[in-house]
Amino acid sequence: MKKHLLLWAAYALVLVLLPSLFSSVLGISILNQMTIWILFALSYNMMLGQGGMLSFGHAVYFGLGGFMSVHALNLIADEVLVFSITLIPLVGGVFGLLAALFIGSFSTRKAGTVFAMISLGIGELIVASSLIFVDFFGGEAGVSGDRTYGPAFFGIEFLQDSEVYYLGAFWLFVATLLMYLFTQTPAGRMANAVRDNPERAEFIGYSTRRVRFITFCAAGMFAGVAGGLFAINYEFITEENLNALTSGRVLLMAYIGGLGFFIGPIIGAVILTLMNSLLSNYSEMWMLYLGILFLLTVMFLPKGFAGFIMMHRAAWNNGKMGSLVLPYCLTALPAGLFLTAFIGMVELSHADELLHFLSMDLANDSAFSWFVLAMLAAIGAGGVKLARPRLAAAWEHANAAAQEAKS
């Protein structure tokens, strides 16, 4: 119990300290995006990781929550509503919940492919309607609002992005805590049981449909809260925030991070937000890299990055982590070289004549440039091949020892 309290305190502390570490405009802007995406990815994990429901339309709840929040901002600006904008995420949450209550009432009967297809259909339906109902969704331009109206919150008017960060971090902390606690309740545990074995769950007294419905609604609500944070941060929202692209992105985050673990989506959201905001500045190809990263994760790390970390528990328990460090480095170095050369080739093929890469000036019409990169890639690939047996042996050793200790 004490250990848990410490972890939560550390989490809060990190959230509070982050803006001091990354205080640049770009830094704060990335942190703000992270709060939104972490919260959204956690809510997605509730659905897929905890409840076993593969949704291709989770952005619906995020987007609807966001649209209602922007409309609420406008009503506050018009003084129709009078409350502090710090409560806007609640507006998003309520409408995310309402949407989930309605859609979940008929879509949670089955999990698996049928559920996935219904979620896809509903997602497309909402996107199509958003282009029809222009008054509410603002057409392709979207709707915009202004977060600086309404009663000030202890003198804070949210003119600065850093003020918005603390607001987002607060809601993120509260939501993370609530989502974690949900996993510890009868409903949360039964969600796992239904995910693992829906048939047996029915024979111990639970309606799988009701269990899924509860998880579905909770996930929809937290997605709505994330949508509310989005509304406050960007002060506008468009049809793009509820379409399949956004749904796909949150699926990517949760999966790359690791579905089975509570912390997984947080890792995934951090990685993808960083890639999105940093890589996109350097390369037009970043979506391509993202696609490759995703496929490699699905193929080689089915439990995501969190799962990869957790794989080392046995070795850690047995104090054998040290023996893995050197083999890891020996594999990672050539792998990094291969990756660098590969990226170099991708970038070179799309460069306008000259590419400044690794303090080399490469020309895309010079055979020599291509030759250098190809050689680097070959050396890297060869190095990985040489280092792999050693890594495998070290891994075997560390885990075998751990098993002995267990028995």
Partner 1 sequence: MSILTLDSVCKRFGSTEIIRDVSLAIEPGEKHAIIGPNGAGKSTLFHLISGRYNVSSGAIDFKGEAIQNLPPYEIARRGLARSFQVTNIFHRMSVFENIRCALLWSEGYRYSFWRLLGKQTALNARAHDMLEQIGLADKADLPSGELAYAQQRALELGIAVASGAELIMLDEPVAGMSNSEAENAVALIRRITEGKTLIMVEHDMNIVFDIADRISVLVYGEIIATDKPEHIRSNTRVQEAYLGEVPNDA
Partner 2 sequence: MNEVFIFATLNGLVTGLLLFMLASGLTLIFSMMGVLNFAHASFYMLGAYIAYTVSGYIGFWGGLLIAPLLVGALGAGVERYGLRRVHSYGHVAELIFTFGLAFLIEELVQFFWGRDTKNYQTPELLDFALFTLFGQEFSAYRGFMIAISLGIFAALYVVLTRSRVGIIIQASISHPHTVANLGHNVPFIFMCVFGAGTALAGVAGVIAGPVLTTFPGMAVVLGSIVYIIVVIGGLGSLPGAFIASLLVGLLQSYAIAADAGMPELLEWLGVSFERSHPLNDLWTLKLPQIAPVLPYLLLILVLIFKPTGLMGNREE
Binding site for partner 2 (CB under 8 A): 48, 52, 54, 56, 106, 109-110, 112-114, 116-118, 120-122, 124-125, 128-129, 132-136, 244, 248, 251-252, 255, 285, 287-288, 290-292, 294-295, 298-299, 302, 346, 349-350
Per CB under 8 A, 313 contacts partner 1 = no
Q: Which is nearer to partner 1, 218 or 271 (CB)?
A: 218
CB of 221 to partner 1, least distance (A): 12
Nearer to partner 2, 124 or 235 (CB): 124
- Range 207-236, binding partner 1 (CB under 8 A): 207, 210-211, 214, 218
* Candidate segments 196-204, 328-336, 367-375, 382-390, binder of partner 1 by CB under 8 A: 196-204
Do 147 and 228 form a contact (C-beta atoms < 8 A)? no
305 interacts with, out of partner 1, partner 2, none, CB within 5 to 8 A per kind:
none
Contact 216, 100 (CB under 8 A): yes
Q: Which C-beta is closer to partner 2: that of 49 or that of 327?
A: 49
By the rule CB under 8 A, 188 interacts with partner 1: yes
CB contact at 8 A, 380 and 334: yes
Q: Compare residues 106 and 371 and give the one whose CB is closer to partner 2.
A: 106
Closest CB 133 distance from partner 2, rounded Å: 5
Q: Does 181 bind partner 1 (CB under 8 A)?
A: yes
Under rule CB under 8 A, residue 192 binds partner 1: yes
Minimum Å gap between C-beta 196 and partner 1 is: 4
Is 187 a binding residue for partner 1 by CB under 8 A? The answer is yes
* Residue among 202, 279, 308, 311 that touches partner 1 (CB under 8 A): 202
Task: Give the nearer residue to partner 1 in terms of CB position, either 189 or 397.
Answer: 189
3-state secondary structure the chain: CHHHHHHHHHHHHHHHHHHHHCCCHHHHHHHHHHHHHHHHHHHHHHHHHHCCCCCCCCHHHHHHHHHHHHHHHHHHHCCCCCCCHHHHHHHHHHHHHHHHHHHHHHHCCCCHHHHHHHHHHHHHHHHHHHHHCHHHHCCCCCEECCCCCCCCECCECCCCHHHHHHHHHHHHHHHHHHHHHHHCCHHHHHHHHHHHCHHHHHHCCCCHHHHHHHHHHHHHHHHHHHHHHHHHHHCEECHHHHCHHHHHHHHHHHHHHCCCCCCHHHHHHHHHHHHHHHHHHHCCCHHHHHHHHHHHHHHHCCCHHHHHHHCCHHHHHCCCHHHHHHHHHHHHHHHHHHHHHHHHHHHHHCCCCEEEECCEEEECCCHHHHHHHHHHHHHHHHHHHHHHHHHHHHHHHHHHHHHHHHC
Among partner 1, partner 2, none, what does residue 167 contact (CB within 5–8 Å per kind)?
none
Minimum separation from the CB atom of position 360 to partner 2 (A): 22
- Which partner in partner 2, partner 1, none is near 118 (CB below 5 to 8 A by kind)? partner 2
Task: Give least dist CB 123 to partner 2, A.
Answer: 9
Task: Note whether 196 binds partner 1 by CB under 8 A.
Answer: yes
Applying CB under 8 A, which part among 86-94, 142-150, 200-208, 371-379 lies near partner 1?
200-208
Distance CA 250, CA 220 (A): 13
* 159: partner contacted, choices partner 2, partner 1, none (Cβ within 5-8 A by kind): none
* Helices 208-234 and 161-183, packing angle to 10 deg: 170
Contacts with partner 1 by CB under 8 A: the residue count is 29
Q: Which residues here bind partner 1, judged by CB under 8 A?
A: 1, 181-182, 184-190, 192-193, 195-197, 199-207, 210-211, 214, 218, 260
